């Protein structure tokens, strides 16, 4: 996750509540919570190996921390045609396929929803 990605979406980001960055010889891990203009929040987790995104989890939660939508690539929904990439819509049990596979795609989808573009 790069700060330039977040900066492209300043029109929907109210604040960055927390941001951590861990770097080892082989992995780079980002964790972040951003507050959006409607009071909802996006929980971001990314794991990079050798500069490539190898695991992600993006969970968009209401101001009351209820799941709106989540995107991740945990390999546990084998029946989904975009396996391992999938979305949770409204609950962890409601799983659909997903073409979104990075933070830019997630923030673009959220922006369309928030601004009704």
Give the angle 114-2-86 at the CA atoms, nearest 5°.
55
The helix/strand/coil state of 114 is helix
Across the beta sheet with 86-89, the strand order is 13-23, 27-36, 41-49, 52-61, 67-72, 86-89, 95-97
Q: Which pLDDT score is estimated for 77?
A: 85
The model carries a pTM of: 0.91
In this prediction, residues 36-55 reach a mean pLDDT of: 95
The yes-or-no verdict on residue 1 having pLDDT over 70 is no
Banded pLDDT at 113 (limits 50, 70, 90): very high
CA 78 to chain centre: 21
What are the structural domain ranges in the chain?
Answer: 3-115
Q: Which pLDDT score is estimated for 38?
A: 96
Q: Which pLDDT score is estimated for 73?
A: 95
- pLDDT tens string 52-98: 999 999 999 999 999 999 999 998 888 889 999 999 999 888 888 99
């Amino acid at each position: 996750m790069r700060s330039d990605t977040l900066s492209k979406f300043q029109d929907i980001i109210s604040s960055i509540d927390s941001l951590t960055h861990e770097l080892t010889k082989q992995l780079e891990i980002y964790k972040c919570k951003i507050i959006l203009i409607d009071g909802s929040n996006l929980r971001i987790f990314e794991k990079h190996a050798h500069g490539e995104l190898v695991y992600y989890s993006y969970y968009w939660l209401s101001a009351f921390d209820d799941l709106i939508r989540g995107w991740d690539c945990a390999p546990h929904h084998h029946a989904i045609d975009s396996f391992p990439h999938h979305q949770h819509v409204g609950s962890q049990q409601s799983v659909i396929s997903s073409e979104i596979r990075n933070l830019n795609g997630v923030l673009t989808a959220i922006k369309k929803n928030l601004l009704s573009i």
